[in-house]
Amino acid sequence: MNEIKDFDALREAMALNAEQPEGPARNARAEQLLVEAEKLNIPLAVIEALGHQLKAYNYSSEKDRMFVPFARLLRMWDERPEDFDEYEVHTLHWVFKWMTAGMLDQPHIPLASIEKWLGEMEHRYRLAGHSERAVRGAEFSVAAHVGDLPRAERAYAAWLAADRDSMADCHACELHSQGWWQAERGADAEALDLWRPVLEGEFTCAHEPHTVLASSLGPLLRLGRLDEARAHHLRGFRLVRPMESMRGAYGDHVEFCALTGNEARGLELLAERPAYFTDSGQPRSQMDFMAAVALLMDRLTGLGMGAQSVPGPAGRAWTARELAVHAREEALSLSARFDARNGTSYVGEDVRARMAQVPLVDRLPLGVRASGIPAPRRAPVESVYTPDTAGQQADAPGDLSALLAEARRMSNGLLPHAMEAWAAVSRAAEGAELSVADQAEIVDHKAMEGGPEGITLFERAAELYAEAGDPGEALAARARAAYARALEGDIDAALDAVSEPYEEVLALYSDEGTGVRQAAAVLMGRARILMRQVEETGTDRSLAAAENAVRELLALVDGHAGDDVRLASRGAEAQAMLGELATRAGDLEGAAELFTWATDAFVAAGLPWFAVEYEARLAGLAHHLGDIAGAERALRGALEHGGAYLEAAGHAQLNLQLAEILGARDEVGEAADHALEAAHWADEAGEGPTLGAWARHLLGGFLLRQGRWAEAAEVLESALPDLGAETHGDGAVVQTLWWLADCLGELGEHRESAERRLKAAEIARHWPEQQDHATLAHLAAESLGQAGLPAEADQAYERAGDLWRSLGNVHGLVRALRARAWLALRTEAGLAGARRRMSDAVRECAEALSEAEDLESREQLGAELAHTHRQFGDLLARSATEDAEDGAIEAAFEEALAQMRKAIAVFSSLGEEGLHGRTGAELAAGWLEADLSRPGEAAARARGVLRAYGGSAGESDAETVRARRAEAEQMLQLMEEQEAEAE
């Protein structure tokens, strides 16, 4: 550490330290700076250093240390108030409020001391002539904390009634406290109304909207405003994540995860801030944080994950069950200390209520991944089969009979989960006396579960059906056995096995020895086998054989379905088979029509869940045929018809496809909703790194297009670890980095934006087409310049300029040179370097203009040249520093004016397209002439601008016209006054 030699150096060091991240390192530096200040023997230096130290403590986890420097400041004020300048007097009174709040946070400080301090604050504020507003606000905080509700209400009313003055908290902080109180009293909607100006950015400060976003999560969930709650979590957590002093708000986000089915996300939050478990400088925020931890751990334990390894206090490993006990004990121990100090039970009751909360929604998808931490296991999606007796051993014949009746009802209706019903029958039937027919059904359905025993079980079922006197079902079971062989890959054996049942069932049906349902089952088995043969061989012969088999099945069931959903299902599946065959034959339009018939038939039969597979196929065909509306209809139908029975992967794929269609049509709001669903279901399906990453990539882009920068940044950052060139293509990686950089730039995080753009540029560097590489290098340079890194920005612009030159893109090259010229004023290159680069930009543009052959290119290059002259003039004018000699300033202005004249001439040559550029340059030239004491020439330029806008302007440029006229009128008035004075 360099020794501080004077007061200016001390102030510079304190300003630099204030920009550092919150935490012990910044606090330690503040302590060192106080030591250095004391060496200067300047009272004000010590006062300012104490104030800097106090602020560092307040915005950190060591809030308990701020009382000592404040006591010293107060003693210095009482002894020698003349040592304080106006700003430090204001600061001294301002931090009285911090002391009151800080004492409340420390249970070892007696309540009587706090009340005494409140009186001292009121006395000193009155002497200083300040309003009671801050005092009554502090009184409200004390009363609300101890649970003295009548006093809190009185103080709240007095606080709002008192005049706002320089001691009042900022609007954002006041609105946060007011909204918090409304939420505490159960008025969630009123709280959100109070917070709206902060949430919308009208009022902000160092800790707002950070805490308002966190405090709003519970009210939004309770009101069912889930989309807003999700957005506030993503946006708010991004703000509190880097700030050590915001443990309370951080705990609100942990609590939100516990209440919305995002336990894995909650664990990730805990892993990011291990010190929050043990930092003891602010016991109240530690208590609140541990209550949120206990809530999360209880939730995990309740989901059967009590043995799950979780992040916890350093020094040992923790399971969810162990951490739940520890966190609860810590939260209750701290609350007991507060209650003992306060003489009430209010804090403890509040902590217990917080830990006893139940989830407000089962699962609220957030769109972000929980890296490396498994999601809790949840119950499967809704099932239509949930009888109380399922899976239990039947105690009496009547129980088994009921299970059989239920299983038959479900299988006859082709209802989802019918196989679960038959599994329950099978378990209940062990050791029971059954008829041969019942045994046949049980074995038949056990065979349908698949597996290596399927063929043998189907054949056993066939024997039992035959023994029971049902030859038709026996043949159907044999056909199912044959199809099972096909599924194992032995098509020839399957065809041999099905040939005899096929011939026999047709003969039996013609003799009325069996029904159409059994005959259709055999014909369907044969058709399915032939379709498998088509998949394997694809020959014309196999196609023809399969088509004949399918059409034979259709002829059999035609007109026989009636209310028989099984026969209706056979007919619908046969239509879908014809659709598959048409696809293979290249008749895509015919295939789409057949799939449409099939899906309509399934829905009409009351079997919408069977339509989903074919609606997905139809969507793909429609998209291929350019029928985007048809693809959208099919996808929406599939999602609607799949409902609770669709597998997680199916939900992910269908939502993802629909999101892409809607996004291409610029319906980004709904597209984002479906991308969010896709990300959620991909994670549920265990496909987070593949489908999930792509869904997050899309979701981030959709959020960015809506201007939701913070949400988009969170989602895109969570997508990046899983996006890879091999799985998703390096184009997706570059695009995600590009979008993320745009978001970070909008959020003011320019250094981080530059890092992402440079990383994307490095990937694009290896592409054959270098346009993206050049663009990204240029954008990275912009970010570096905005981040206050001129030397690095200059290097990036130089790289971009070389790329633009290699691409023959004069516009990009000229803009890079102009940017480097402006940067030169902030680097060692100085004014000479700036002149050289701007001159290079003029030359490059002029040469390209002289060689341009078509009118459009000449107009575009002309506009670029005019803007370059204009910027050259601005640069020269701004380079004239106030402390330069008069002759040097005059020379710079003359040179700048010459560039403005050139800009005006080129803009004028562009006609109407160059009007606004010309008038802007005319006004800039007019101000230069005013500075050169030529009011007549300046006035003439102003009149010229007013004449140029004599007609009406279109709506698109009305604002520009108004601004130009206003500036011209101002200039004209000033110049006419100067001319009058001169006369």
Please write the tens of the pLDDT for every residue from 105-164.
999 999 999 999 899 999 999 999 999 999 999 999 999 999 999 999 999 999 999 999
Across the strands, what pairs with 205? 208
Report the alpha-carbon angle 280-281-287, nearest 5. 55
d(Cα 815, Cα 797) in Å, to the nearest integer?
9
d(Cα 289, Cα 279) in Å, to the nearest integer?
11
Best-predicted range by mean pLDDT among 674-688, 940-954, 967-981?
674-688
Among candidates 418, 466, 420, which has minimal Cα distance to 440?
Answer: 466
Other CB atoms closer than 10 Å to residue 409's CB: what's the count? 12
Work out the pLDDT band at 880, boundaries 50, 70, 90: confident
pLDDT at 883: 57
Show the tokens assigned to 854.
């078509």
Inter-residue contact 876 to 899 (CB < 8 Å): yes
Show the tokens assigned to 2.
């360099």
Among candidates 108, 111, 95, which has minimal Cα distance to 58?
Answer: 95
Inter-residue contact 777 to 799 (CB < 8 Å): yes
pLDDT cut 90: percent of the chain above it: 82
pLDDT at 58: 84
Among candidates 533, 539, 537, 458, which has minimal Cα distance to 490?
Answer: 533
Element (H, E) at 628: helix 628-642
pLDDT cut 70: percent of the chain above it: 96
d(Cα 952, Cα 692) in Å, to the nearest integer?
53
pLDDT at 96 over 90: no
More confident: 886 or 572: 572
d(Cα 215, Cα 178) in Å, to the nearest integer?
11
pLDDT at 264 over 60: yes
Among candidates 759, 842, 826, which has minimal Cα distance to 791?
Answer: 826
pTM for the full predicted model: 0.84
DSSP 122-164: HHHHHHTT--SHHHHHHHHHHHHHHT-HHHHHHHHHHHHHSPP
Residue type, 144: A
Burial 478-499 (b: 16+ CB within 10 A, else e): bbbbbbbbbeeeebeebbebbe
Work out the pLDDT band at 2, boundaries 50, 70, 90: low
Among candidates 156, 134, 133, 135, which has minimal Cα distance to 144?
Answer: 156
Give the 3-state secondary structure of 484-550: HHHHCCCHHHHHHHHHHHHHHHHHHHHCCCCCHHHHHHHHHHHHHHHHHHHHHHCCHHHHHHHHHHH
> Quick one: how many helices (H) and strands (E) in the chain?
47, 2
Tokens 């038939």 appear where? 601
Burial 664-676 (b: 16+ CB within 10 A, else e): eeeebeebbbbbb
d(Cα 770, Cα 805) in Å, to the nearest integer?
11
Q: At a CB cut-off of 8 Å and minimum separation 6, what does 516 contact?
A: 509, 556, 557, 560, 567
Burial 511-525 (b: 16+ CB within 10 A, else e): eeebbbbbbbbbbbb
Work out the pLDDT band at 980, boundaries 50, 70, 90: confident
Expressed in angstroms, the distance from the first to the final Cα of the chain is 63
For residue 205, the 8-state DSSP code is B
pLDDT at 431: 85
Show the tokens assigned to 616.
């997905």
Three-class SS state of 257: helix
pLDDT at 392: 40
CA 220 to the chain's CA centroid: 17
